[in-house]
Each structure stands twice: as structure tokens, then as C-alpha cells.
A and B are shown apart, each in its own frame.
Chain A
Amino acid sequence: MPKGRQRLAADVRRSIEEPERIGKLWEAMERGRANRAATIEQAGLDLPAFRDRVRSIKETAAQDPSIAEAFADAVRANGGRVLFAATGQEAVRYLLDVCRAQGAEFLVKSKSLTSEEIEMNQGLAAEGIRAIETDLGELLCQVAGEKPSHLVFPAIHMTSDRIAKMLTEEYGEPIASEPSSILSAVRAKLRPLFLAAKVGVTGANIGVAETGSIVVETNEGNGRLVTSVPRVHVALIGLEKIVRHWEDAADLVRGHAISATGQRMTVYVSLISHRQPVAGDPAGREFHVIILDNGRTRMRADPIFRDALNCIRCGACMNVCPTYGVTGGHVFGHIYPGPIGIPWTANVHGLEEASFAHLCVSCGLCHEICPVDIDIPFMIAKVKEQDVEAHGQPTAERFFMASEAFAKVACLMAPLANGLFQRGPARILMEWTLGVDRRRTLPPFTRRTLRSRVRTRGTKAGRVGKVAFFPDLYAEYNNPDLGLKAIEILERLGYSVLIPDVRWSGMPYVSYGRLGKASALAAFNLRILGPLVDEGYDIVSTEPTAVYMLRKVYPKLREGELATKVGTHAFGFFEFIERGLADLPLRPSRDVAGVVGFHIPCHDRALTSGAPAMRFLERASYRVRAVETGTCCGIAGTFGMKSGWLGYDLSMAVGEKLFEQFRQSECNLIATESSVCTLQLRDGLGRAILHPLDMVRFEGAG
């Protein structure tokens, strides 16, 4: 295994075995998501429209270099000074000069991720200037000598006991572990520093070109003090953060607060254009703005990574990332943590620092929650691609990318193969040679695939419409009964059904960073599906991941009309039949006395969030409710089949949160649509997991 991944595996193991290392992270994430959802609802925000607006504002800001120029001119017209810093070192050197001119031995700072990106504090310290973090979480990290583990809650990994002990030592006076005592101690300790500071440094959440202003948002009010008490204020801003007009800034101010903490607004939103006098005296009050490039212009020119520049640094993506949630930002991050941290790290700190990309399981949830609709998963796939090209690919990943070929052979050998794959020496051998974890249940293969059975059975012509059924691997090679049942229902509803000569959907190519292969496969499938769509066919699949690939990923892999056309005609099975649901004489085939706990597959969260499948079961007289953590079950395709800490163990650590919810839910039946989620829930709960189609029969039929 490549060295970077070996280190990563050891780090993952430590996080899982010593959960105190990540503290209340999972709780912070859950609360972040819940508050966000509640505020969106309460504010009556039209989320899709809001995302479109924010995206268009950010795209303009990130792509148009003339905006930063206009901003710089306006800052100068206000009497401020501007530095365009190509690198972090240039920014730090400038700041050092400012401090020296003031005779400052220290400066006070409010929270700035951009300053962490360029390791400003270390650069200043090397020249004898102390940068004092004043945001409480950042200050705690600084005292501990640790990096922030979350964008919004930097010190979420620390307990109050640990904080009290640490500050008692640092301040040389006893501090109780009650959070309010810690707070009082910090306030008392920082106040004289604020009052004595000659230089204050802030980041900027937004720059506004038309008036040469910045927006600084803080909850603690430290930003207010940093920008009012010291004689000199220096603001550091990434060049992608500058918008043209104030009207553009409004949606960003809203977006930051809602997505970061679920607040309607950050407590203090300061619109700063230059210094103000103090009691009428303007003497010595200086304003400097450092506009930082540090790789951004290069990112701007990259067709894939330019999307990262649209980030508003809200942290929503890390609040939903399943593996970040059990490993924490010190493992799942370099300086920028979490999903969006992967493309940022690869681009500003280098590929060598970005091996945590392999913790991404490609669930796609970060894209769904992003207020700027950034395709984070696709950028991560690109980073993985660069990494495997530079450092090689583990055997297990190569094996799972060959799943289709393997399935064909396994079907020829079934049931012999199935006996081998259940337990015992063959699985130990498979783990050694292929890296497939021996503890993971694998689905049995069928001697007679769906296509051969449909050939024998024949199909009926229908008059309502035409469907091309996309079986993907599971319905073709593992569970053709499922495919047949789906086809039967489609025919009952009056559709003519055929199975096109497509290959599998190929998600593992994306998950494991082989975008070239993914693209070639997409091209192959699109060549077959395109003409069918032209003939009036809709494409329907029982596998959520297949629909996700067709609708969301293929159009990205093969930009153009063909992929878009096919994508808009691809449907999940339950979504597609919903119109005809009332005509189906559905009867339950299982006990309906209790409640069905339904698991929503991640890829379906991007499509229908399981709603049509749940309505299907309700139509068959079941009582259904979603049992969910709000994130992935952990298996994420084949990720949780890989052996070891970067596979099965991490997958089960994520899954445990969901398993616990199912155990407490007292559901008598458990259902889900995805073939791989089924394996995860079965392995985690030791119970039968049903597909909704396994739970119905038709009136009059046996």
C-alpha cells in the first residue's frame, strides 16, 4: 500500500480506537445539520433558487479578475493600502513590515482560515512577532499547539476538562472546568492584550468592489475589537471572495450563517471600508488589505478545480461527511479540513498533503448540502486520480473496478463460487491477495442472469410507453428476481420493456479515481442509451447508484448534449412508477403489524430521498418511517468491502451510528433500495434487510 495511505490507515485506527480524540464532533455535526434545516424552514428559504443565486454570484467573483482590480482601486481611493500577494510568504513579509513600522511585538487576530492557509502565525513567530488568536476556538488550538479540527468549531475535539487543565498551565492560575469559568478567564486574559495591541488582523468573509469594503462576520465580537482598538487594521482576503456590488453580498451573508451554524445571521456583521477616527482624531489610523492569490489564479484556469473557488467556507460539507465524522479534522484534513479541504489542499498545499482524499467514500452528500452547489465529489475524484497516478493503487481498488468481469465469471461458477465466497479459507485468501475483507458478507451470484431469464421469458408489448431497464450489476448477476419483478410491474402498467446492451454503471471508477475509465464506460453506455431515448424510451433502474451515475455523473464525465439528454430521461424505479401506483393491486407479502424502518441510500438523496419507495410501501399497507443519521450507512459502494482501516473498519465505525438508531427504533422490518446498503445493514444488525419489491405481491397472484 502507498506510504501516504499507510499513515492514513494508522491515523484512522487511532481515531476509531480512541474516540476521545475527536470529542463531540459527531454531535456538533448533527446539531449543525438540524439547525440549518430548521432555519431554512423557518425563514421560508427557497433553497434551489437561493443556491442558484449564490452560485452565480460566486462564479462571477471567482472567475473575473477585473473585480479584484476594481476592489483594490476603491480601497486606495478610501485611503487604504493594498498588496496583491502572489504567495503566503509575500503576505507575511508585508505584515512583518507593518508590525515593525508600528514597533509592534504582537498583534491580535480574529479568525481567518486564509491566514491559516498561509501559516501566518508561524511566519510571524519566526521573526519574533506573536500573533494572538482571539476567537475562542482558535485560541484554544493555538495554546494546545494543534490545528483546528472543524472550520466553524475549531476546538470541538477538546473537552472542557482538558481546556481547563491546559489554560491553568498556560495562564499560571487555577481555572475550573465549568465552561463559564473558562470563558471568564479568557476574557480577563485577552482584554489587556486587545487594549495594548497596535496591529489587528482579520480575514474577510466578503470583499465588495464598488465601495472598496470588506465584510467581517463574527459571533464573539472579537472582530469588532480587532478592527476598532488597534491603530492599524490589516485584512487578508482571498481574491475569490470579492464581489462587485452590495446586492451580491446579501445572499452570502445569509448563506454563511445558515449553512455554518443554522443562525439566521452571524451576531456581528461588520461592513468596513476604511478606518474611522477615535473621538474625532484620525491620526495614525491605517487600513491595509492583502489580496491573496496563492494558487487561486491557477485554480481559476483549471476546468475542474475552479469550482473550489466558489466555496464560502461555511463548513456544511464537513457536517454531513460520514468518514470525517468518525476520524475528525486532524485526520480528515491538512490545514483545510473536510470534503472541500481535499481540492483546496491539493491545490494550495500540494498533492503530498492531500492523501486524506482516500477517506472520501463518494457518497456525494457534500455536493447535496453545499449552498453553492459545488461538485465537491468530482473534484475529490480528480485528486484521487492524481494521487493514484503518482503513488499507485491498492489491489482491492483494482479488484473492485473489475467487478463486472468478476461477476460474469462468478455467475458461470455459481453455486460453487457462492460456497467459496461465504466463509472460510477462500475468503482469507481473497483478503490476502485481493484485499477484500473476510468479515464482509458478499452477495451470492446467480447461475442464470437477468438477461438470460428475460430472453427465456419473453417480453410483452405495452401501449403506455417504452422503458429501457438498466439492471446494473446487482439485478443482473446477483438478484435477477428483483429485476424480473420490476419488469413485471412495468409491464402491468403498460410499458414495453427491454434490457439494453449496456455495461454496468461503473461507480468504482469514480470512487477510486480512474476518471479516464469512467469516462470511456460512460461513453459506451451513452452510445447505446442515446438512440433509445430518441426512440422514446425512458431509462429505469432499481439501483439508486446507477440512476445517480446517469443523471449526475455521466453529464460531468461526458459534457454535451447526449449525456444531458440521457440524464434527463433516467429514473429510479419507484419514482418512475409513481404515476401509475394507484392502478397497481398491491398487497403486502409480509407482516404489516409493526413499522418498516426505511434506510435512504446516499445516492438517492441526490434524486428522490427515498420518498417514492416509501410511498410504494405505504400503498401496500405498510407503516413506514425513515430511520436515519442524515449521513451515509458507511459501506458506500465497495468502500466498506476493502479490508482494514481504510475499508471495512472505517465503514463499520460510520455504520455503528446508524445501527444504533435501528436498534432503538424497534422496527419489525427493515427496507432499503440499494444493494450495498443492504449488505451493510445486514452485517451491522444481523437482521434480514428487504427490498421494497420483496415486500409486495399482487392481488390474485400467489
Chain B
Amino acid sequence: MTPVLLESILKGHGANRVVVANLPRELRDLVAVALKDLSIAFVEDLPSEDALAACAAADVGITWADFAIAEDGALGEVARDDTARLAASLPIVHVVLLPAGRLVRDVAEAMAFAGGLLRSSGPGQRPTITFISGPSRTGDIELRLLYGVHGPHSLHVVLLDWYEGR
């Protein structure tokens, strides 16, 4: 089911070039199979000087969320390598895979969870954690709500009810 869903999202956007980052090992094959007809790059495998260029040239980025905040519809992205953030921010379409069981209630719980993770990671080993609650947006021109100003114009969240997460 999940590969079919992914394929249909990407078809809907007429995607050609896809970058993938930050996925758990066992999901990489699944994505590779689903997107076999497209140009797809697992950016953390590239030489670092090519990773940025690949993300900048892609029209879709597929990344991973470790958890989500139920009340706010926000994703919790945990990045230990910046390819995760580049693949999520540079393409116009962002697809996030999220294990359905990893939900916290609200910002307070999310912050407590993130804080715990940062504390336990130790100096210099801390991940960059980002709460993402929608596509890139602005109201700076006459208060008109517009999407896709710098980051993605579209954000898709694929909930995985069959996968527990890493």
C-alpha cells in the first residue's frame, strides 16, 4: 500500500527528480522500489559536495519524521546530518514518512521529548530537531496567505501504521 501511495503522490506532482534522506535503513528499499521509474538519489550516500546540488535540483524530497504533535498537526524531524534538512527544504514538494504510533499530545510534551533527546545526546552529539507544521508560508504581501516562499509549496505526510520506527 505504502509504495502505491508514494507513487501516486509523486505522479500527481509530475515529479522527475527525487532526493531521499534520513530514512531508516529498512524503508530505503521500499522507496527505491516504489520510485524505480524516477531519478532518485539517497543524498547521504553522495559525496558531500554533490549532496547540496542534488537537493537543489530535485523537485521532491522524501524524508523521515521521528514523531508528531497530535494537537498541532506538527511533525518532529530529528536530523543528525544536514542532508535531512536540505532534502526537506530545497525541493518544492516535501513528502514525510511518519510512524503512526509516534504521537505526542501537544507542544509541552513535544518539547519535553525533544529536550530529553538533546540532553541525553551529549555535547557536540545533539541532533537538530525541527517541528514542522505545514508548507513554507508567508503573509507579507498585503496579508495574502501564500505557500512555497522559500521552502516547499506542498507537504505530504504518509502515516505508516505497519512500521514502528527506528
Q: Which residues of A contact B (CB under 8 A)?
A: 23-24, 27-28, 31, 43, 74, 77-79, 134-137, 140, 153-156, 158-160, 163, 179-180, 182-183, 186-187, 190-191, 194-195, 208, 210-213, 219-222, 224-225, 227-229, 245-247, 249-251, 253-254, 261, 263-281, 283, 285
Q: How far is the CB of A171 from chain B (nearest CB, A)?
A: 16
Bound-state CA distance A187–B133 (Å) is: 21
With known contacts A153-B140, A225-B150, A273-B126, A265–B56 Cβ distance under 8 A: no
Q: B109-126 interface mask toward A, CB cutoff 8 Å, 1 = contact, 0 = none?
A: 011101110110001101
Q: Which residues of B contact A (CB under 8 A)?
A: 43-48, 50-52, 56, 69, 71-72, 74, 79-83, 85-86, 88-90, 107-108, 110-112, 114-116, 118-119, 123-124, 126-144, 146, 148-152
Bound-state CA distance A211–B71 (Å) is: 26
Q: How far is the CB of B78 from chain A (nearest CB, A)?
A: 10
Of the candidates B72, B108, B143, which one forms a contact with A24 in the assembled complex, judged by CB atoms under 8 Å apart?
B143
Residues of chain A with a CB closer than 8 A to B79's CB: 276
Of the candidates A229, A253, A271, which one forms a contact with B107 in the assembled complex, judged by CB atoms under 8 Å apart?
A253
Residue of A nearest to B145 (CB): A179
Residues of chain B with a CB closer than 8 A to A225's CB: 89-90, 150-151
Bound-state CA distance A265–B71 (Å) is: 10
Of the candidates B108, B118, B142, which one forms a contact with A160 in the assembled complex, judged by CB atoms under 8 Å apart?
B142
Bound-state CA distance A74–B150 (Å) is: 31
With known contacts A277-B81, A278-B83, A270–B128 Cβ distance under 8 A: yes
Residues of chain A with a CB closer than 8 A to B132's CB: 267-268
Could you list 23 A-B pairs, sorted by A, with CB under 8 Å? A27-B143, A179-B146, A183-B146, A186-B149, A187-B150, A194-B150, A195-B56, A220-B137, A224-B85, A225-B150, A229-B86, A246-B118, A253-B107, A253-B131, A264-B133, A269-B131, A273-B128, A276-B79, A276-B85, A276-B127, A278-B83, A279-B45, A279-B46
Q: Are B123 and A278 in contact (CB under 8 A)?
A: no
Bound-state CA distance A140–B142 (Å) is: 12
Bound-state CA distance A179–B133 (Å) is: 23
Q: Are B126 and A183 in contact (CB under 8 A)?
A: no
The 3 closest A-B pairs by CB, nearest first: A246-B115, A221-B151, A281-B48
Bound-state CA distance A557–B40 (Å) is: 68
Residues of chain B with a CB closer than 8 A to A195's CB: 52, 56
Bound-state CA distance A163–B116 (Å) is: 45
Q: Are A220 and B150 in contact (CB under 8 A)?
A: yes
Bound-state CA distance A227–B79 (Å) is: 13
Q: Are A265 and B47 in contact (CB under 8 A)?
A: no
With known contacts A278-B51, A281-B48, A247–B139 Cβ distance under 8 A: no
Q: Are B138 and A265 in contact (CB under 8 A)?
A: no
Residues of chain B with a CB closer than 8 A to A31's CB: 143
Bound-state CA distance A135–B128 (Å) is: 21
Q: How far is the CB of B84 from chain A (nearest CB, A)?
A: 8
Residues of chain A with a CB closer than 8 A to B134's CB: 267
Q: Are B136 and A221 in contact (CB under 8 A)?
A: yes
Residues of chain B with a CB closer than 8 A to A261's CB: 139
With known contacts A247-B115, A278-B86, A183–B148 Cβ distance under 8 A: yes
Bound-state CA distance A441–B70 (Å) is: 57
Counting chain A CB atoms within 10 Å of each CB, which of B79, B137, B140, B146 scores highest? B140
Residues of chain A with a CB closer than 8 A to B89's CB: 221, 224-225, 228
Q: How far is the CB of B118 from chain A (nearest CB, A)?
A: 5
Q: Are A278 and B149 in contact (CB under 8 A)?
A: no
Bound-state CA distance A187–B138 (Å) is: 12
Residues of chain A with a CB closer than 8 A to B56's CB: 191, 195
Bound-state CA distance A221–B90 (Å) is: 10
Bound-state CA distance A253–B110 (Å) is: 11
Q: Assuming A135-B140, A268-B136, what are 13 further A-B pairs, CB within 8 angstroms? A: A211-B115, A247-B111, A253-B107, A253-B111, A261-B139, A264-B72, A265-B72, A267-B137, A269-B74, A273-B118, A274-B124, A278-B52, A280-B44
Bound-state CA distance A136–B147 (Å) is: 12
Residues of chain A with a CB closer than 8 A to B82's CB: 228, 275-278, 285
Q: How far is the CB of B83 from chain A (nearest CB, A)?
A: 5
Q: Are A250 and B107 in contact (CB under 8 A)?
A: yes
Of the candidates A186, A265, A276, which one forms a contact with B81 in the assembled complex, judged by CB atoms under 8 Å apart?
A276
Q: How far is the CB of A608 from chain B (nearest CB, A)?
A: 32
Number of A-B residue pairs at CB separation under 8 A: 204
Bound-state CA distance A221–B52 (Å) is: 17
Bound-state CA distance A283–B82 (Å) is: 13
Q: Are B128 and A276 in contact (CB under 8 A)?
A: yes
Q: Are A247 and B140 in contact (CB under 8 A)?
A: no
Residues of chain A with a CB closer than 8 A to B80's CB: 276
With known contacts A31-B143, A179-B142, A278-B51, A213–B126 Cβ distance under 8 A: yes
Bound-state CA distance A272–B143 (Å) is: 29
With known contacts A187-B149, A221-B149, A222-B150, A272–B107 Cβ distance under 8 A: no
Q: Are A280 and B149 in contact (CB under 8 A)?
A: no
Q: Are A228 and B124 in contact (CB under 8 A)?
A: no
With known contacts A27-B143, A269-B131, A221–B152 Cβ distance under 8 A: yes
Bound-state CA distance A603–B11 (Å) is: 59
Bound-state CA distance A281–B124 (Å) is: 15
Bound-state CA distance A195–B112 (Å) is: 34
Bound-state CA distance A180–B124 (Å) is: 41
Q: Are A155 and B112 in contact (CB under 8 A)?
A: no
Q: How far is the CB of B144 from chain A (nearest CB, A)?
A: 5
With known contacts A74-B123, A191-B56, A271-B130, A280–B48 Cβ distance under 8 A: yes
Residues of chain B with a CB closer than 8 A to A180's CB: 146
Q: Are A211 and B118 in contact (CB under 8 A)?
A: yes
Q: Are A246 and B111 in contact (CB under 8 A)?
A: yes
Counting chain A CB atoms within 10 Å of each CB, which of B69, B71, B139, B148 scores highest? B139
Bound-state CA distance A187–B150 (Å) is: 6
Residues of chain A with a CB closer than 8 A to B142's CB: 23-24, 159-160, 179
Residue of B nearest to A210 (CB): B119
Q: Are A183 and B138 in contact (CB under 8 A)?
A: yes
Q: How far is the CB of A579 from chain B (nearest CB, A)?
A: 38
Bound-state CA distance A263–B145 (Å) is: 13
Residues of chain B with a CB closer than 8 A to A79's CB: 123-124
Q: How far is the CB of B20 from chain A (nearest CB, A)?
A: 13
Q: Are B118 and A179 in contact (CB under 8 A)?
A: no
Q: Are B118 and A268 in contact (CB under 8 A)?
A: no
Bound-state CA distance A61–B104 (Å) is: 27
Q: How far is the CB of A149 from chain B (nearest CB, A)?
A: 12
Bound-state CA distance A405–B123 (Å) is: 68
With known contacts A249-B111, A265-B133, A224–B151 Cβ distance under 8 A: yes
Bound-state CA distance A515–B42 (Å) is: 67
Residues of chain A with a CB closer than 8 A to B115's CB: 208, 210-211, 245-247, 249
Residues of chain B with a CB closer than 8 A to A154's CB: 140
Q: Are B124 and A211 in contact (CB under 8 A)?
A: no
Bound-state CA distance A247–B113 (Å) is: 10
Residue of A nearest to B46 (CB): A279
Residue of B nearest to A272 (CB): B128
Q: How far is the CB of A184 from chain B (nearest CB, A)?
A: 9
Q: Are B119 and A271 in contact (CB under 8 A)?
A: no
Bound-state CA distance A74–B160 (Å) is: 37
Q: Are A219 and B126 in contact (CB under 8 A)?
A: no
Residues of chain B with a CB closer than 8 A to A263's CB: 133
Bound-state CA distance A190–B69 (Å) is: 32
Q: How far is the CB of B65 from chain A (nearest CB, A)?
A: 13
Q: How far is the CB of B33 from chain A (nearest CB, A)?
A: 23
Q: How far is the CB of B53 from chain A (nearest CB, A)?
A: 8
